[in-house]
Structure 1
Amino acid sequence: MSQLIFVNLPVKDLETTKAFFGKLGYQCNPQFSDENTACLVISETIFAMLLTESRFKEFTGREVADSSKTSEVILALSAESREKVDEVADTALASGGSPVKEPVDFGHMYGRSFQDPDGHIWEVMWMDPAAVESHQC
């Protein structure tokens, strides 16, 4: 079985956040969702657990970071083309997201970023497969 990732994110208004990601084409898995939680399915192995701030605090015992002042994480997703990067970012911005920085274009790598309604930063990146194959760590 492939390893799965469940990223837990605090949200101010669960319905607003679900609607935002629905406009981006993502669905929630009702099996793992309730009035305080929504399991956003990003891919077969990537999920974002959208938790109301009060529910999120139950897991951490800590205050939720004020995403208007701090950045707790940058969530980066791959895209299959430059056009898909633009499609996702443009849809996010038209659906209530806000820009974070100017697009990044290195020729072989292209990306754009946005903030969701809760201030979490998302980055959508495309990399030329040929450049990836020739890159060594």
Structure 2
Amino acid sequence: MDRMIFVNLPVGDLARARTFYTGLGLTVNEMFSDEHVVCVVVSDTICVMLLDHSRFADFTPLPIADARTTTEVLLCLTAADRAEVDALASAALAHGGRELRPVQDEGPMYARTVTDPDGHVWELLHMDLAASA
């Protein structure tokens, strides 16, 4: 059995978050979505669960971090090539995200770091493993 990962992110505006992630070309699994949660499918084994603050608070007694002012986690998503990294970053910027730091072009590693509208950090990465061997 392949393990799955569900990345649960608190969001301030569920509709805005849905627009951002679908703007990246990702799809929504409506079966696991409702007025408080949107399930974004990244791959067969990765889903991003966008939860409004009231629903996210059901899972933890701790305060919800404001990802725009505090780093909570760095999420990294691989891409097939540099062009896909750039396409994902461009889509993120066009749908309310922002570029967090300059492009990282370190030989076989190419990355761009963006945030979603709630400040969650996504590093979009291509590693040319053949070139690094």
SS of match in other structure, 1:86: helix
* Alpha-carbon distance in 1 for matches of 2:122, 2:65: 16
Tell me how far apart the structure 1 counterparts of residues 120 and 69 of structure 2 sit (CA, whole Å).
11
In the other structure, the counterpart of 1:42 is 42
Give the gaps of 5 or more residues in structure 1.
none
The percentage of counterpart residues that share the same residue type is 48
Match of 1:123 in 2: 123
* Secondary structure at the counterpart of residue 88 of structure 1: helix
Query: Does 60-69 or 1-10 show the bigger shift?
Result: 60-69
Task: Map residues 1-137 of structure 1 onto 2, 5 A cutoff.
Answer: 1-131=1-131, 134=133
Q: 2: distance between equivalents of 1:117 and 1:54? A: 18
What per-residue deviation string (whole Å, max 9, x for no partner) do you get for residues 6-47 of structure 1?
A: 011000011110011111101110111110001110001011
- Which residue identity does 1:43 align to in structure 2? S
Structure 2: runs of 5 or more not aligned: none
Show structure 1 runs of 4+ deviating over 4 A: none
How much is the aligned-residue C-alpha RMSD, in angstroms? Answer: 1.0
Q: Secondary structure at the match of 2:101?
A: coil
Q: Residue 129 of structure 1: CA displacement?
A: 2.6
Aligned residues: 133
Q: 1:60-86 CA deviation, whole Å, 9 max, x = no partner?
A: 022110112101001100000001100
Aligned-partner Cα distance in 2 for 1:5–1:89: 22
SS state at 2:58 partner: helix
1:129 counterpart letter in structure 2: L
Alignment partners' CA distance in 2, 1:11 and 1:2: 28
TM-score, normalised with respect to structure 2 = 0.96
One-letter amino acid matched to 1:40: V
